[in-house]
Amino acid sequence: MGPVAKTGRILSGMRPTGRMHLGNYVGALENWVRLQNEGWRNYHMVADWHMLTTGYEDTSRLQDDIYDMVLDWLGAGLDPEKSVIFIQSEVKEHAELHLLLSMLVSKARLERIPTLKEQIRDLNLDEQTISYGHLGYSVLQAADILLYKPTHVPVGDDQVPHVELTRELARRFNFVYCQDRPPVFVEPEAALTAFARLRGLDGNRMSKSVGNTILLTDTPEEIVRKVRQAYTDPKKARATDPGRPEADLTELDAEGRPVHPGCVVYEYHRKFNPEGAADIAARCRAGTLPCVPDKKDLGQRLSDALAPIRERRERYAADPDRVRDIVAEGNRRAREVAAATLAEVREAMRLKVPWLEGR
């Protein structure tokens, strides 16, 4: 997220996929922690209902994955005194608002959401058999967001269309039900994460299932071993060959993408060694920097950067009662805000039943 002059309130969550990797850290967690420490009011949701949209059959690992993810959030520096950490399914208001908002959006509008199309393509799904819940997951996401009335939603560029839908639903609701009263919903702004994407070590999209990630819990030895296998410049066969740290735009494939998309090691240097990255690129191009020591150097830097996260996580892992208390308190605080918003929603929609009050 670029510099924002003021502070506000953010809502951001993740599907519980278990242990977090470097991409989760760079694309989200690091930013959450920074905002929290700048005085923003942070709400962070474990989006367990969202897991069901693409994986409802097998929930055997779900609770372990939630726990692992929360430990990684705490390890990364989310401070439960400053940030509310909660589990979506523990706050039933998300389901009710999802239902109510689902009346305000057409099926065609949901089918146009680009990330849904991508999921259908990536998971090789049949568009005709996609579930009702999956089709509407962006409405659930809008409900997740609007309940907390955040001013901003930190997202990567691929999630911007979801924030757009959220804003549309907020506007639609306010227009339909709040003509004679103050609007219930705030239209949140998408706040783009500055370093949203880090490629996997093999140069492809980072994914745990592919095994091209560095986990926040990896030991220094594992990190060094993984970085040793990272994708570099295939043309730099010998230590003294000049390399191409950045993408080579002179050689494109049939779809117009560079055949050599840039060295992953250099990409990681730019993130974790910003002062040294220009010098590394210059020496690489000049053929005076061999890959082996450069990878060793990066492995050490990553290991140093992750050490405080690993240590903090270990302290929380050794105290499961504390972790339970943190999440229980987060659920309670989230419920308080969500219930207040939903009371406004029900009133605006005339769903409150006045003649039953006191019964």
Closest to ligand SF4 by CB, 286 vs 351, is 286
Closest to ligand SF4 by CB, 8 vs 203, is 203
| Sheet containing 41-46: order of strands | 83-87, 41-46, 9-14, 152-155, 189-192
Q: Is 188 in the site for ligand SF4 (CB under 6 A)?
A: no
Residues 236-255 that bind ligand SF4 (CB under 6 A): 236, 243, 245
CB of 236 to ligand SF4, least distance (A): 5
Closest to ligand SF4 by CB, 293 vs 320, is 293
Q: Is 267 in the site for ligand SF4 (CB under 6 A)?
A: no
Sequence length of the chain is 359
Q: Is 284 in the site for ligand SF4 (CB under 6 A)?
A: yes
List C-alpha distances in Å: 37 to 33, 126, 304, 330.
6, 44, 21, 18
Q: Using CB under 6 A, which of 91, 291, 327, 334 touches ligand SF4?
A: 291
Here the tokens at position 175 are 């227009």
Residues 83-122 that bind ligand SF4 (CB under 6 A): none
Does the CA dihedral 192-195-201-202 come out positive or negative? Answer: positive
Q: Is 227 in the site for ligand SF4 (CB under 6 A)?
A: no
Nearest C-alpha neighbor of 19 from the set 51, 66, 52: 66
- The residue range among 54-62, 94-102, 144-152, 291-299 that interacts with ligand SF4, by the rule CB under 6 A, is 291-299
- The residue range among 47-55, 112-120, 155-163, 262-270 that interacts with ligand SF4, by the rule CB under 6 A, is 262-270
Number of residues lying near ligand SF4 (CB under 6 A): 14
Query: How many alpha carbons fall within 13 Å on the CB side of residue 51?
Result: 22
Residues 293-322 that bind ligand SF4 (CB under 6 A): 294-295
Closest to ligand SF4 by CB, 144 vs 233, is 233
CB of 292 to ligand SF4, least distance (A): 8
Closest to ligand SF4 by CB, 35 vs 280, is 280
CB of 216 to ligand SF4, least distance (A): 23
Q: Using CB under 6 A, which of 10, 191, 223, 289 touches ligand SF4?
A: 289
| Chain center to CA of 292 | 32
| DSSP classification of residue 192 | E
Closest to ligand SF4 by CB, 19 vs 199, is 199
Strand-pairing partners, residue 86, are 45
Q: Using CB under 6 A, which of 266, 268, 272, 316 touches ligand SF4?
A: 266
The 10 Å CB-count burial string (b at 16+, else e) for 175-202 is eebeeeeebbbbebebbebeebebbbbe
Helix runs in the chain, H state only: 22-24, 30-37, 48-55, 62-76, 93-101, 107-111, 114-122, 132-135, 137-146, 160-177, 220-228, 264-272, 277-286, 291-317, 320-348
- The residue range among 1-9, 38-46, 193-201, 261-269 that interacts with ligand SF4, by the rule CB under 6 A, is 261-269
Q: Is 233 in the site for ligand SF4 (CB under 6 A)?
A: yes
Tell me which amino acid residue 138 is: S
Residue 63: Cβ-neighbour burial (10 angstroms; 0-12, 13-18, 19+): exposed
Positions in the binding site for ligand SF4 (CB under 6 A): 232-233, 236, 243, 245, 263, 265-266, 280, 284, 289, 291, 294-295
